[in-house]
Amino acid sequence: MLDEIKGQYGNMSKGQKKVADFISNNVERAAFMTATKLAEAAGVSESTVVRFATLLGYDGFPEFQNAMAEELQSRLVSPKKAQTNQFRENRSELLRKVMVADAQNIVDTLGMLNGEAFENAVQLLRDARRVWIVGIRTCAPLAQYLAYYLHMMRDEVQCVTTSNISEIYEQLSWMQKEDVMVAISFPRYSMRTLKAMDFANRKSVRLIAVTDSKYSPMNMYSSCNLWTKTDMITMVDSLVAPMSMLNALVVGFYLQDEERISARLETMEELWDEFQIYDRDEMSDLGE
């Protein structure tokens, strides 16, 4: 797709060249943009974007957008295949190398930290009427983890639990402008998550994005961005650094209102003891 753009560059109008330049330098973002968003980012009209796609031989913008997605997918998958082959040659080092790679992601994340964005995220979570958490596919466990601990410390926490886009909209239809959405996604970015963020934007809901870098398309929708590394030596994404970021959010939230939350947790401990949730179960009773 990028080769097609280079080949046609000399035949493009001034506006079309702006679109070409933007896509060539930002294919990671452009692949997830609508024609309207792409036009705004490139500083041209939407009709210019459509004519740009037609010039390259596509029937329309949707077909061109699919080509951009395939280009992005090839970028993301090919290096991982090469790393997997390299890793397969020395299986005896599997455990150590996986852990070293996870640790490196945390180290790399430390170099990307934005303390102001983190503090802002904690404050948003505290002040929100309701917190909505969206994480699709491999990010679903991260969303559920954050929802579990926030629910322990405050009310009105909703984890969006379906990957069906119509059901996502049905759940999010209850959002109000006093709410906050936490959206979690990494390459390959979930289109459903991006659509949920766009929907939240239209409802004036404040957004926190947990994603991989300044190049993530999620940054278009969120002004509070928490970046973490997820690089891995196989086709499996490393979720260690994102989990660490969520841990920090939970601790930061706790420290904002430590006295009240401690009292709530003590009440929960009494309930757990009463109903033997953690300490004892029927089998341990039989053994005594």
Task: Look at residue 285 in the predicted model and tell me its pLDDT.
Answer: 46
Q: State how far the Cα of 29 lies from the Cα of 33, in Å rounded to an integer.
A: 7
Residue 41 parent element (H or E): helix 35-42
Q: Which residue has the higher pLDDT, 256 or 243?
A: 243
How much is the pLDDT for 78? 47
Cβ-contact 73, 188 below 8 angstroms: yes
Which has the closest alpha carbon to 120: 46, 180, 50?
A: 180
User: What is the spatial distance between Cα 27 and Cα 221, in angstroms, rounded to a whole number?
Assistant: 17
Instruction: Render pLDDT for 166-178 as a digit per residue (tens, 0 to 9).
Output: 888 888 989 999 9
Instruction: Give the model's pLDDT for residue 107.
Output: 83
Q: Which residue has the higher pLDDT, 234 or 69?
A: 69
What is residue 283's predicted lDDT score, i.e. its pLDDT? 40
Across 41-55, 216-230, 272-286, least confident range: 272-286
What are the pLDDT digits (tens) for 25-59? 877 678 777 888 889 989 999 999 999 999 998 98
Instruction: Kindly report the average pLDDT of the chain as a whole number.
Output: 83
Full-model pTM: 0.66
The model's confidence at residue 142, banded by pLDDT at 50, 70 and 90, is very high
Strand pairing report for 157-160 and 180-184: unpaired
| pLDDT (tens digit per residue) in 70-89 | 776 665 544 444 455 555 55
CATH topology (fold) of 116-256: Rossmann fold (3.40.50)
Q: How is residue 99 written in tokens?
A: 């852990």
CB atoms within 10 A of CB 136: 22
Tokens of 88: 């397969």
pLDDT computed for residue 82 by the predictor: 44
| 248 and 222 Cβ atoms separated by less than 8 Å | no
Question: 2-73 and 116-256: same fold?
Answer: no
Query: Taking residues 177-182, what's their average pLDDT?
Result: 95
Long-range contacts of 81-90 (CB under 8 A, 24+ apart): 81/235, 83/233, 83/234, 84/233, 84/234, 84/235, 86/233, 87/233, 87/234
Dihedral angle sign, alpha carbons of residues 275, 280, 281, 284: negative
What are the beta bridge partners of residue 135? 184
Give the class (CATH, top level) of 2-73.
mainly alpha
- List the domain boundaries for the chain: 2-73, 116-256, 258-288
Residue 154 class from Cβ within 10 Å (0-12 exposed, 13-18 middle, 19+ buried)?
middle
69-83, 110-124, 215-229, range with the lowest pLDDT: 69-83
* For range 176-191, the mean pLDDT: 91
Nearest Cα neighbor of 246 from 170, 133, 136 is: 133
Average pLDDT, integer, range 197-218: 91
**Which tops the pLDDT comparison, 188 or 13?**
13
Q: Specify the DSSP class assigned to residue 198.
A: H
Q: What is the pLDDT of residue 234?
A: 63
Compute the C-alpha angle 31/190/247, nearest 5°: 125
